[in-house]
Chains A and B, each alone.
Chain A
């Protein structure tokens, strides 16, 4: 299965600023996913990112707040824009889902907004 390198692993940011999270996959994957995990909760899907098309956002998430890039089959970025303390969470990227295969996750980005 694919191996995903995610960075940064953690960051403390000032409110009103933006942070871009990067995920690099060691093989080509069609679908990548971005999740948010708020403290003490399970994962919530933010969006699905397919190469060559606009990301598909889940209810409650918008492109202006969470712009996503997917320039090729091995890389994706998620930007958390105009941050507020409510954005403090762990953000995770994932890839996989091809027939017969499961999903792999990056190591997560622990974001604290102050």
Chain B
């Protein structure tokens, strides 16, 4: 059974720092992995989608990598800003079109 783990559970850094969020999964047979952002009490915004055949995806200051063999993905945020404060969730898609979720990393960027 696929399990997804996100470390750390919470992270607080000063504005301007580069940071890395981690996501690990137990079964390497995934279709894709998606990173989301969630602001308090709100819905989810998709940040990056990495297909199983891809190694990384980039969007602006965000870069996500995928290493299927080791069951890991990282989300790199460059030059962090207070507006980046949110909970970041990763999810892997299984063969039944369902998403298996990590518990999220709550990120706080201090001005």
Residues of chain A whose beta carbon lies under 8 Å from any beta carbon of chain B: 1, 6, 10, 31, 33, 41-43, 45, 48, 90, 92, 94, 97, 100-108, 110
Contacts and interface: CB of A to CB of B under 8 A. Distances in A.
B99 A100 contact: no
A1 B51 contact: no
Interface stretch (B16-24, B41-49, B65-73, B74-82): B41-49
B89 A42 contact: yes
Given A42-B89, A100-B51, A102-B32, A6 B102 contact: no
Interface of B: 32, 34, 36, 41-46, 49, 51, 89, 91, 93, 97-99, 101-104
A43 B34 contact: no
B89 A48 contact: no
Contact of A90 (B41, B89, B98, B103): B41
Majority SS at the chain A contact face:
strand
A103 B93 CA distance: 10
Nearest to A30: B97
Nearest to B97: A97
